[in-house]
Amino acid sequence: MKALNETGIFEIMNELGVYGRIGDIRDKSVIEDIFSDFKPQIVIHAAALKHVTPNELYPEEAIKTNILGTLNLIQEAKNWECLEKFVFISTDKAVQSNSIMGATKRCAEIMVKNQGRGFVAVRFGNVLGSRGSVIPIWQKQIESGKITVTDEKAKRYMMTIEDACGLVIKAAEEGEGGEIFVLNMGEQINILDLAKRIIKGNEIDIEITGLRKGETLEEKLMFEEEEKRAVKNNNYWIIK
């Protein structure tokens, strides 16, 4: 069952003193009401089903949210002249698309890019400390005396929450339309090495569970043809 992030919205409203509302991007009438109420100039589309394993089990849910939900937002956004930027949050898993989640995010990327003026995408690696990040999972597992790692050779691109937010802001400021912004995250980090750093030499067992369906040993930030077109700008690339 899919749940809306009611608690997250509630906390933001209290912390920032702003008005917000919950809603399902799969419901066109809700999207129409939200745009009518707020008349946004900038839309940051971060709503998604983003975990590999649940999406492998229920691909129809990933399609409804990640593809059809994105289409609902795009269609409504284009109805409003006040809209200046539409920033779609994508993932490095969209490049190899070995998983249902990655494939649906890639499809959404293409839809956003093809809208032209004002519509841009941002590709994220793993955001350390965010919801769904491996770090909070390990911190909970440590209490049981054991943490899990999928494969000794598994590597992932890592970025901080600050880096992620900064890249979204850059995309909103500099994106003209049809670009994909990708942060330079350096070399991929070995997950087993990261796990060892987290436990800091404590007597914590590390269990190798094996890759699950849809998972890969390594990720890629860009397709080969994108690498030829990507323009480096400080610590990020712009793919046009």
Q: What is the pLDDT of residues 140-179, one digit of tens each?
A: 898 888 999 999 999 999 999 999 999 999 999 999 999 9
pTM confidence score: 0.91
Overall average pLDDT of the 66-78 stretch: 97
Tell me which of 50, 93, 155, 170 is the catalytic residue: 93
Residue 112, pLDDT > 50, answer: yes
pLDDT tens per residue across span 5-30: 788 888 889 998 988 888 999 999 99
Q: For this structure, is 240 an active site residue?
A: no
Residue 211 is predicted with a pLDDT of 94
What per-residue confidence (pLDDT) applies to 238? 97
| pLDDT at site 43 | 97
Q: What pLDDT sits at residue 154?
A: 96
Q: Please report the domains of the chain, with CATH numbers, ordered by start residue.
A: 43-239 (3.40.50.720)
**Residue 136: pLDDT band by 50, 70, 90 thresholds?**
confident
**Can you give the chain as a three-state secondary structure string?**
CCCCCHHHHHHHHHHHCCCCCCCCCCCHHHHHHHHHHHCCCEEEECCCCCCHHHHHHCHHHHHHHHHHHHHHHHHHHCCCCCCCEEEEEEECHHHHCCCHHHHHHHHHHHHHHCCCECEEEEEECEECCCCCCHHHHHHHHHCCCEEEECCCCCEECEECHHHHHHHHHHHHHHCCECCEEEECCCCCEEHHHHHHHHHCCCCCEEEECCCCCCCCCCCCCCCHHHHHHCEEECCEEEEC
